[in-house]
Each structure stands twice: as structure tokens, then as C-alpha cells.
Amino acid sequence: MRHSDPYEIPTFVTHLECPATGERFEADTVQGLSSAGKPLLVRYDLDGIAASVTKTDLAGRPDGMWRYREFLPVRRTEDIVSLGESATPLVTLPRLAAEMGADEILVKDEGRLPTGSFKARGLSMAVSMAKELDLTRLAMPTNGNAGAALAAYGSRAGIDTYVFCPDDTPEVNVREIAMQGAHVWRVNGLINDCGKIVGAGKEAMGWFDVSTLKEPYRIEGKKTMGLELADQLGWQVPDVIFYPTGGGTGLIGMWKAFLELREIGWLTGPLPRMVAVQSTGCAPIVRAYDEGADHADLWENAFTIASGIRVPVAIGDFLILEAVRDSGGFAIAVSDEEIAAAQERVPATDGLLLCPEGAATFAAYERSLADGLVSPEDRVVLFNCGNGLKYPMPPAERSLDHTQPIDWESLSEE
Ligand SMILES: *Cc1c(COP(=O)(O)O)cnc(C)c1O
């Protein structure tokens, strides 16, 4: 028996739903994909939410993802597995905006979250739900950040975790996963090959698969990016959101947040145009968008320095494409050269270190502005999803001999 918390907040989950067929599944039981093999979405009694909480109530709570409890699936406060997910700031890029002739560029810097990436939102939620549903062993394939978050939240919950990464995953990620207590392996393949190991090991290992979108709750965690963004802007939304899209959880989750907020009347007027940013080395969603397709085909020989968006096939492809199209957004791919250039330019100009995926959104914004896909007056939000310090940086090799006279002139040379 669990004791009940005196500060328990009412929750409003009614059921889980297959977005492809509308088939309903029971909440509060362990669920993976729908019977059609699609990701399940959590549905709420939105009228109930609207009747039970106000914007003012929320403003009186601590900031961060758990502020939005009524919009989230965890029933019991004691099941929340948290490492201090404070709200992430919206950082302006004033010097770059001036250079580019844009009114304002906002970066939502998700690198400030526990484990250094926005994967903390999804995994804090998924592990909390795993705890609520008494799961004891979880597994996932990862390009790094999701595995780090799973490891950290899993350890904190006393849940056993197994993580499989492509063998070229950045070293720091693999070590971080190991230090945070997961069983971690490097695999000589891509993330989808790692995913096959997780699928194949289910019976022998008895683990639950927390791969992107293969359980219903990571989306709800990422949904808090949309809730938080609207909250930060005074329950307004930006005109355009540039999102580095791998499995697409964040894009799908934010769009779900905006629809739910509109449904309860907290957002009125146009919703943001959602832009899916990928790399030219792995752009299945961009290709499908360009072809007018509803689903994306596997991208062969995927390669990009932005490992978080190196996802050759996404099970939520149709949901990403739907959000992009329904919002009047678009999908765009940038090259690794453009990503690397942005990764150098943004911190050197405005002091904000970006992860490669975040840099991709800057490069995509710059190109979209040049191509007239967005206007300089549009209020845009770029997502920097990971802390730049987690990624390899170019070497800085100049040194001085303090016992010798210094040639001051030479210090300012490039
Ligand atoms: C996972 C990840 C992404 C992609 O996020 P999705 O919501 O899965 O599309 C982008 N950037 C970074 C740094 C990531 O870790």
C-alpha cells in the first residue's frame, strides 16, 4: 500500500489513444505501441483541467516541468522522479539578430536541464510512470542524451537500466551513462540497429522498452517544453519554432501542448509554425515533407555530426509531418558545414554555446530568412536541446611562456 500525499494534485488522464486508428487503451496499465504498431498518445479530461486550475494557480508554483501537474500523467506525487528540472531560459541573440536584420531571436536553452539535455524532460516523466506502474527494468537505444537521462532517473528510482549506443556515440555520453548507473554497451551499428537489440532482448531480459515513442509518456515530458514556452511568454506563443528533429518527440509533444492549451482556451489566435530541422546527411522527414508523403522512408547511410538528429527512421514520422503541415510550418535540412559554422559563430558573437543540433536550428533559421520562408519580424524560437559542453570542441592551442618577455602585439593576432 502506498500512503497518499496530503498535497496530491488531481489528475485528468482518461485513456491512451492510437492517433492512426483512434483505438482506445486503458490508462494506468503498462502499454507500449498500439495494436496498429503506432505510438500511443495520452488523452485528458481537458474540461476537468480547465475547471480545476488557473494560470494564476500555476504562477504561484515553483517553475519547471512539474508546475503543470494537471496536464501530466503521473497520479501520485510520491512517484515523481526528479533531479531538479527548472524552467529553461529564453536567451536572446541580440548581436546576431542585428547582423541578420531580424527583430529578435530567442533560444530556448534546454542544455540547462539535469543530464545536460532536454531528454531529461521525457525521461523524468517516463521513469516516474515506470515507477508508478511498478516496472523494474528498462532498456533503450540511444545516440547519447536519452541514455544519459534514462540512466540518471533510473538510478534515482532504483530501476535497473540497459542502454545501447552506436559505437561512434560521443565518448562523454557513454561515460556519463555508465557513471549514472546504467548497464551500457556500444554497438557497431546505428540507433535503429540498437533498437533491434532492445526489441529482441525483451523476453530473455524482461525489460520494458522505453525507446522514443514506444511508450506513451516521454511525449508528455517533452510536452512541457510547449507548456513552459507559452507560460514564459505570458500565455502567448512565438510565430515560428525551429526544432532539431530526430525521433520528433519534442515537436510532437509541443504541438500536443499547444492544441491542449487552445482547447481549454488558454491560447487564442494562431499557433506557432513548427519547423522540423534535419541534417542533409540524415533527412528522412524533410524528404517526406518535400514529396508530400504521410510517412518517411528509411534514410540509408545516415551521417551527421549532430548525432541527436541522426535518426534514419522515426516511428512517429506521420505525427511529425502532421504537426509540421497542420501548423503551416515546413521541414528543412542543413549541411554539417553549416552546422559547424553556426556552432562557432553563435558563441563567438552572442556568448551562447550550442550543441550541434541547436546550431542546426540557427543555420536553418538563417537560411529560411534568406529564402523568405520566415520574415525578419517573425518572433522565432530556436531550440538548443543539449549543453554545448557535452560535445567535442575545436582545440585551443596557443600558450605563453611566463618566464620570457611577452610580445603583446601578438596576443591580438588571430
Ligand atoms: C534527442 C535529441 C534531439 C532530437 O530530439 P527528438 O525530440 O527525439 O526529435 C535533438 N538534439 C539533441 C541534443 C538530442 O539529444
pLDDT tens digits, 30-68: 999 999 999 999 999 999 999 999 999 999 999 999 999
For ligand 1, say whether the CB of 309 is within 6 Å of any of its atoms: yes
For atom 1 of ligand 1, the residue with the nearest CA is 308
Cα–chain center distance at 145: 10
C-alpha distances (whole Å) from 47 to each of 38, 44, 262, 344 are: 27, 9, 12, 47
Q: What is the dihedral of CA 240, 277, 118, 195, to 10 degrees?
A: 140
Cβ of 116 less than 6 Å from ligand 1: no
Check residue 156 and give its pLDDT.
98
| pLDDT value at residue 10 | 83
Predicted pLDDT of residue 4: 46
Average pLDDT over residues 252-272: 97
Q: Does this model's pTM top 0.85?
A: yes
CB proximity list for 140: less than 8 A, separation 6 or greater: 146, 147, 150, 161, 162, 163, 164, 198, 209, 210, 211
pLDDT at 190: 87
* 245 CA: nearest ligand 1 atom: 9
1 falls in which pLDDT band (50, 70, 90)? very low
In this structure, which CATH number among 3.40.1190.20, 1.10.3720.10, 3.30.720.200, 3.40.50.1100 belongs to the domain 90-115+218-388?
3.40.50.1100
- Ligand 1 centroid from CA 195, angstroms: 16
pLDDT, position 3: 44
Distance 309 CA to ligand 1 centre (A): 6
* Residue 116: closest CA among 392, 389, 393: 389
Compute the mean pLDDT over every residue in the chain, rounded to the nearest whole number. Answer: 95
Q: How confident is the model at residue 414 (pLDDT cuts 50, 70, 90)?
A: confident
Tens-place pLDDT, residues 64-115: 999 999 999 999 999 999 999 999 999 999 999 999 999 999 999 999 999 9
Number of Cβ within 10 Å of residue 21's Cβ equals: 11
- Angle of helix 336-350 relative to helix 356-370, nearest 10 degrees, comes to 100
Q: Which of 88, 118, 324 to mutate to test the pocket of ligand 1 (most atoms within 8 A of CB)?
A: 118
Q: Which residues contact 191 (CB under 8 A, 6 or more apart)?
A: 141, 142, 143, 166, 310, 311, 312
What CA–CA distance (Å, rounded) separates 156 from 411?
48
Rg of the chain on CA atoms, in Å? 21
**What integer pLDDT is reported at residue 9 of this predicted model?**
80
Between the alpha carbon of residue 2 and those of residues 75, 129, 132, the distances in Å are 12, 15, 10
Distance CA 303, CA 262 (A): 38
> Do residues 308 and 357 make contact, with C-beta atoms less than 8 angstroms apart?
yes
DSSP secondary structure letter of residue 297: P
Tens of pLDDT along 324-348?
999 999 999 999 999 999 999 999 9
Nearest CA to ligand 1 atom 6: 248
Helix (H, G, I), strand (E, B) or coil at 317: helix
69 lines ligand 1 (CB under 6 A): no
Phi–psi pair at 350, nearest 5 degrees: -115, 5
147-160 burial code (b ≥16 CB/10 A, e <16): bbbbbbbbbbbebb
**Nearest partner of 191 among 295, 280, 276, 303, judged by Cα:** 303
pLDDT of residue 244: 98
Strands laid side by side in the 183-187 sheet: 183-187, 160-166, 137-141, 208-209
pLDDT tens sequence across 4-30: 444 568 889 999 999 999 999 999 999
Q: Give residue 413's pLDDT.
A: 82
Tell me: pLDDT of 306 over 90: yes
Residue 393 is predicted with a pLDDT of 86
Query: Is any atom of ligand 1 closer than 6 Å to the C-beta of 244?
Result: yes
- The least confident of 178-182, 374-378, 410-414 is 410-414
